[in-house]
Amino acid sequence: MVTVISTEGSVPGKTGAYMLVGDEGRIYGTVGGGRLEYMAILKAKELLDKKEALVCSFDTSEIGTACGGSARLLFCPVNGNMGKKGTDACKDGRPYRLALPLGKGSADISYNTDGGKHRFIDDGYYYEDFNYDGMVYIFGGGHLSRETVPLLKKTGFRVTVIDDREEYADSKFFPDADNVLCMNYDNINIDISENDYIAIMTRDHLGDYECEKFALGTSACYIGAVGSRAKTEYINKRLASEGIAEERIKRVFAPIGIDIGSRTPAEIAVSICAQLIKIRWEKLKNN
């Protein structure tokens, strides 16, 4: 396992980026790509036989790139047997901790990243907390949802799809989703945390209104709603007429997504996914 533990200047990989390297040089993950990653793979293959941990510094100017920076990489051998500590999963399915037993010398290297909250080495084990982020709740199981869910999953989000029609709330349409639920929009019964995201894309104004009204009563870190500006104005006025404060209504990203000139469902899905990635990154920086 190769992890970027510090950088200076311009380098492709950021602190905390990591990859696993097999004995044939095949990798999972990335430390930034390019020449730096290639040199890291060669070093990892060299260290595989030694089964010892090592920290190496790479100056990009010395390895044939023009970035003008340097990076310190931690190389840790990972044992095949997970051991007794293995994987510690939480009951609610939110964060779970992966524990990998490391080889000789790994416990002697002090290393933390993400403030020590998500990854650390202790007592000969590498620990990482996965899924410490929340769930993306998508209201509406139509064609836009079907384009959006696979993108969100590929970029590391967990996704629950909710529709009020049984024929649309069908897991066969969403093989990548973590959950698919059938639920009336005027009686939503879901616990939403401050780490969760809500994306509203139902089939009509009434569904959007019901879901948005529910969303504004939660502590979700993100609320987005699909729709034209006229539709957004209509729903905002209706919410305001029911006494919902303007500052609360302004929490909603409507129209949803980043403006990239998207038109097709696939393009809109890209804009939604990009916006959620941005929100997630801002949360991580603030934490």
Q: Provide the domain limits for residue 256.
A: 135-286
Do 148 and 281 lie in one domain? The reply is yes
How many angstroms separate the CA atoms of 196 and 221, rounded?
A: 6
Query: How would residue 285 be classed by pLDDT, with cut points 50, 70 and 90?
Result: confident
Confidence of residue 50 (pLDDT cuts 50, 70, 90): confident
Mark which of 130, 148, 183 sits at the end of a domain.
Answer: 130
What pLDDT, on a 0 to 100 scale, did the predictor assign at position 101? 62
pTM (2 d.p.): 0.69
Q: In terms of domains, do 208 and 230 share one?
A: yes
Task: Please indicate, yes or no, whether residues 146 and 268 belong to a single structural domain of this protein.
Answer: yes
Assess whether 151 and 236 both reside in one domain. yes
Residues 142 and 235 in one domain: yes
In the chain, how many domains are there? 2
Q: Which residues of 97-120 are buried (b: 16+ CB within 10 A; e: fewer)?
A: bbbbbbbeebeeeebebeeeebbb
Are 177 and 278 in the same domain?
Answer: yes
Q: How confident is the model at residue 22 (pLDDT cuts 50, 70, 90)?
A: confident
- The number of residues making up the chain comes to 287
The answer to whether residues 126 and 252 belong to one domain is no
Output phi, psi for 5, to 5 deg.
-105, -15
Under a CB-based contact definition with an 8 Å cutoff, are residues 44 and 23 in contact? no
Are residues 197 and 241 located together in one domain of the fold?
yes
Long-range contacts of 232-236 (CB under 8 A, 24+ apart): 234/205, 235/205, 235/208, 235/209
The rounded percent of the chain whose pLDDT value lies above 90 is: 48
pLDDT-above-70 percentage for the chain? 78
Residues 147, 257 share a domain: yes
Mean pLDDT of the chain: 82
**Residue 248 and residue 153 share a domain:** yes
Q: What pLDDT is recorded for position 35? A: 83
Domain end point (choices 84, 99, 130) = 130
pLDDT in tens, 246-278: 999 999 999 999 999 999 999 999 999 999 999
Is there a single domain that holds both residue 78 and residue 143?
no
- CATH number assigned to the domain comprising residue 193: 3.40.50.720
